[in-house]
Structure 1
């Protein structure tokens, strides 16, 4: 017999974490409700997925490694929550160099780099504490932290300095409740690559205030000619660093969901609790994709350097194409990237008085020219838009041409003075 119910009606509520979790990009983009121009095919410069248009694909060595993993029948079951030992050894070998030696015990495999960031934020910060994130910066940092009741504070990047960190602003944001600093290098959305000296300055600040770093380095090694990628861990023996990366971008396989955390802790600052905490948190996801784990040693060891070089050359060529086209458009100022897959473009809204914000500019660009870029507000940065440069070159060229035509139609051009019937009139053309 059923006992009398202590509830009189259905009352199913979302948890605090669910209610606090939101994605700034989704909330902004979903409010852009205009229809594209039906007479022009949509060109999406908004999607940070290098595989979208089929012009960038992984090499045969990577595909064959996965085929071998499946055929072996060895990776159909569960793995240890932190990953198979041979897969972690492969990541450790891949991530080691003359400046830093990684051991497999320092590696935790995750379901993509976003999962790695989630685990790092969760293990380092508690409700009521704060983390520092870049502005402009990838919105998922805020999404992951605020859902847990962690306050997000931003430090500024300087566009006039190639998006280097405003170090004075970074120092000002640190307080007694700061649990971690997130450093994204190379950067999404800026495409910046930090100089070695600049990274050393960042590390000095972290060491002075005893604040650990979460290094989002998913675009590691994706740098253009003339620039060099320096991992944060390769330049510090003092600051504890949780480095997050994965296959996603460099190997052109975001859907395979293979990321990792590397614990860099030469002074054993994190030894007591953080390692154990990460292992416990990894048990919540019950490990990452085992088929890809089985393929990791071959992927990381056998992918030819020519593949990486070809991808970089393509992205560099595309970035120059976009920059050289947009720099000629009055009212827009592109900032040439040094790596990754993105370009930020400043919109001088005074030149376009019809639009009150970058969101309105991007909305009308989509409506009139069927070119979709993400407004800077998605990354906490007003009066900018982000272009993805992975689209085929002919599409990118067409998109830039459409952007130029759009700007020419809406630009507030130099006022001419004419005298008519004794009056002075400003003619806007």
Structure 2
């Protein structure tokens, strides 16, 4: 009630969930029923480790107004690149487009050399092979992460896409996520407090990634075991 728009991140950050075609179709139908536009973040859609990649644009086309966005920084492990793109679908976006193009013309925008390099990278013949290799490495690291986490009093949905995990601490030792994160930092392991993603009233959560190499993931969990 009173919603102005729906935001969908697929694969999801911070959970690593991947929404099925049925899930997305149901959301589109709900938004269409209540005349709610959708902002769709597809920044991780090349990084689906389990499940089928779904083209949201085909599901939502002519059913509901939506903006589709993606980014170079995740596919190429290039955080901070600040290179991305959006496409506008349906009516009611004229004012948003004007504001968006005004923003793009500010001096804070990325320079044209980076933009040309990004466009070239996306059409390079080696790009599909690069993505396959990246997903293979991520899957190996995800499996190592899950194996190590399962040995500790932690619970979380197994990530099926992107490279994040959102973890609940299943002990009574920690009452606040920030205290746990600070204790982990003293052990040399960096996490993000779960409260940064919204209020967590049913427990203590933190977000992390499985981007490091398997041996580093194993070492990190060995350290975390000492404070759990």
Would you say the 8 A contact 2:166–2:206 is kept in 1?
yes
Would you say the 8 A contact 2:83–2:118 is kept in 1?
no
| 2:181 equivalent to 1:359 | no
Alpha-carbon distance change, 257 to 277 in structure 1, aligned in 2, over 3 angstroms: closer
Larger Rg: 1
SS in 2 for 1:198: helix
Q: Provide the rounded CA distance (Å) in 2 between the counterparts of 1:240 and 1:287.
A: 26
Q: 1:373 — aligned with what? A: 191
Q: Among 233, 236, 242, which residue is 2:57 paired with?
A: 233
Over residues 383-414 of structure 1, what are the superposed CA-to-partner deviations in whole Å (9 max), with x where a residue is unaligned?
A: 1111111112211110012222332xxxxxxx
Q: Provide the rounded CA distance (Å) in 2 between the counterparts of 1:310 and 1:381.
A: 36
Alpha-carbon distance change, 313 to 271 in structure 1, aligned in 2, over 3 angstroms: same
Alpha-carbon distance change, 214 to 364 in structure 1, aligned in 2, over 3 angstroms: same
SS in 2 for 1:305: helix
Give 1:366 shift: 2.4
Q: Among 138, 156, 168, which residue is 1:334 paired with?
A: 156
SS in 1 for 2:40: strand
Q: 1:134 — aligned with what? A: none
SS in 2 for 1:324: helix
Alpha-carbon distance change, 251 to 321 in structure 1, aligned in 2, over 3 angstroms: same
Would you say the 8 A contact 1:179–1:212 is kept in 2?
yes
Would you say the 8 A contact 2:24–2:56 is kept in 1?
yes
Alpha-carbon distance change, 273 to 406 in structure 1, aligned in 2, over 3 angstroms: closer
Q: Among 210, 217, 222, which residue is 1:396 paired with?
A: 217
Give 1:335 shift: 2.2
| 2:221 equivalent to 1:221 | no
Q: Provide the rounded CA distance (Å) in 2 between the counterparts of 1:236 and 1:377.
A: 32
Greater mean alpha carbon deviation, residues 179-188 or residues 285-294: 285-294
What are the within-5 Å matches in structure 2 for residues 261-272 of structure 1? Answer: 261-265=86-90, 269-270=91-92, 272=94
* Structure 2 alignment gaps of length 5 or more: none
Give 1:236 shift: 1.4
Give 1:304 shift: 3.0
| 2:67 equivalent to 1:247 | no
* Structure 1 alignment gaps of length 5 or more: 1-173, 408-429
Q: Provide the rounded CA distance (Å) in 2 between the counterparts of 1:393 and 1:286.
A: 37
Give 1:185 shift: 1.0
Over residues 282-303 of structure 1, what are the superposed CA-to-partner deviations in whole Å (9 max), with x where a residue is unaligned?
A: 3345754200222234211114
Alpha-carbon distance change, 392 to 381 in structure 1, aligned in 2, over 3 angstroms: farther
Greater mean alpha carbon deviation, residues 280-289 or residues 335-344: 280-289
Q: Provide the rounded CA distance (Å) in 1 between the counterparts of 2:212 and 2:224.
A: 15
Greater mean alpha carbon deviation, residues 388-397 or residues 355-364: 355-364
Give 1:252 shift: 1.9
What are the within-5 Å matches in structure 2 for residues 108-147 of structure 1? Answer: none
What are the within-5 Å matches in structure 2 for residues 52-63 of structure 1? Answer: none
What are the within-5 Å matches in structure 2 for residues 199-214 of structure 1? Answer: 199-214=24-39
TM-score (norm 1): 0.49
Q: Provide the rounded CA distance (Å) in 1 between the counterparts of 2:198 and 2:11.
A: 18
SS in 1 for 2:75: coil
Alpha-carbon distance change, 381 to 395 in structure 1, aligned in 2, over 3 angstroms: farther
